[in-house]
Structure 1
């Protein structure tokens, strides 16, 4: 696809979303980052002149439509939209509340649906474009105690595969990136929960998480940003409907 002129990234206030936005901005792309915490978005936007912040909750389709409309007014139709926003909680299946189930699917799965539907309403299908969902290894295999998250991420991968088929005759590709545990604030929260529930040390909790990765390490946010750049390259023109695993060989 060559240089991406403009892009929108959800969940851009921290972690993977911030890394993707900064990487794109440094390559000359005009980036809009969205999220619920405007102060966090502004802090990332302050790091590069090519980044603009727009407060929007991915669970609200109208909010995402407003974010895309604002982006189009400032930068024109986006060539790249990254559905990155996500959230996870852990509990034994029997203790998962209906509220937790609904909220997890709303952020991770419906949020991706809302982002892509709002994006496709303004993207130019005659021009090369990319839709990328940041899913998870939880979209490719099962993990105990995170059934809602696994269900949501499996749904994201299914959505990507279906939409890729639907758009195959256009110049827009649709793919998912499936990382293992990433060195982000979300993992810090997971570690804190493990410590609180089990009494083990933070170091031992982290070792428990990296044990899933054959390389025995956490994935770096910059590795996900590099994968996004790859999917935007001309060399990835035929990569469509794929779930790109970045997890050290776990899946």
Structure 2
């Protein structure tokens, strides 16, 4: 991959869940700042198409972040590259239902991807960062990890776990020159929120528009944030060298309590 120019020139960033949505938006922003980018995900065809659109400084690797063997293979395959930025973006929304109707399998799937995946990726890629005495980790959390969101218990609990992981891990690796922070987006316009609004409307007997309006009305700006805004926020966090153990709320002013 040829080098770029910009604040992140000469650095290689690894973005999980990078084949679509927030992951691809984050990758685009990092590329615009000069980084080389490796995107990962579970669907090779989607990754190939996204990497092709992103350009020659982007490559892809298939990896299910919830599987230790996949993460170990990914780390081994990238051993010849200096991954200095890790963005743990891979995540799933999980069921939209009261807790009493959620299966143990659905609960475990959400935590396997949203929490276990962050743990496995950090465990695999942090040692080389601490050895070099430099590196940055950004975990994508959610405002839903900081305030109630009815019928989304597994997702909210998993994102709260990511916030706790971030704060503790920052204290562990900060002394070695590695920063760990989290970004908590509010509702992001796109297919995932469209799915959530559709399911909520079906469950409550309301219309799609009513379900969407009830959700976004809690934000000061009266709208959702965009994927591009999330990507820009990740880049901005990497331009703040004193930021460590922090959580940035990007919610268009949604109340997080």
The answer to whether the 8 A contact 1:80-1:129 is kept is yes
Q: 55, 63, 68: which is aligned to 2:62?
A: 55
Identify the match of residue 123 of structure 1 among 118, 121, 129.
129
Aligned length: 247
CA distance in 1, matches of 2:218, 2:43: 31
Q: 2:167 maps to which residue?
A: 161
Matched, 1:83 2:88: yes
In the alignment, structure 1 residue 65 sits paired with structure 2 residue 72 = yes
* Cα deviation 1:193-234 (Å, max 9, x = unaligned): 12333443332222122123221101111111111111211x
Match of 2:245 in 1: 241
Residue 214 of structure 1 is matched in structure 2 by 220
Contact 1:9/1:84 (CA < 8 Å) preserved in 2?
A: yes
Asked if the contact 2:96/2:200 (under 8 Å) is kept, the reply is no
5+ residue gaps in structure 1? none
How big is the shift at 1:148? 1.0
Q: Distance in 2 between matches of 1:176 and 1:162?
A: 12
Give the TM-score, by structure 1 length: 0.92
Unaligned regions of 5+ residues in structure 2, if any?
Answer: 1-5
TM-score, normalising length: structure 2: 0.90
CA contact (8 A) 1:61 1:118 kept: no
What stretches of structure 1 move > 6 A for 4+ residues in a row? none
- The correspondence for 2:139, drawn from 120, 133, 140, is 133
Residue 45 of structure 2: aligned partner:
39
* Alpha-carbon shift at residue 68 of structure 1 (Å): 2.8
CA distance in 2, matches of 1:132, 1:66: 21
Instruction: Assess if the C-alpha contact under 8 Å between 1:77 and 1:124 holds in 2.
Output: no
Which residue in 2 is equivalent to 1:231?
237
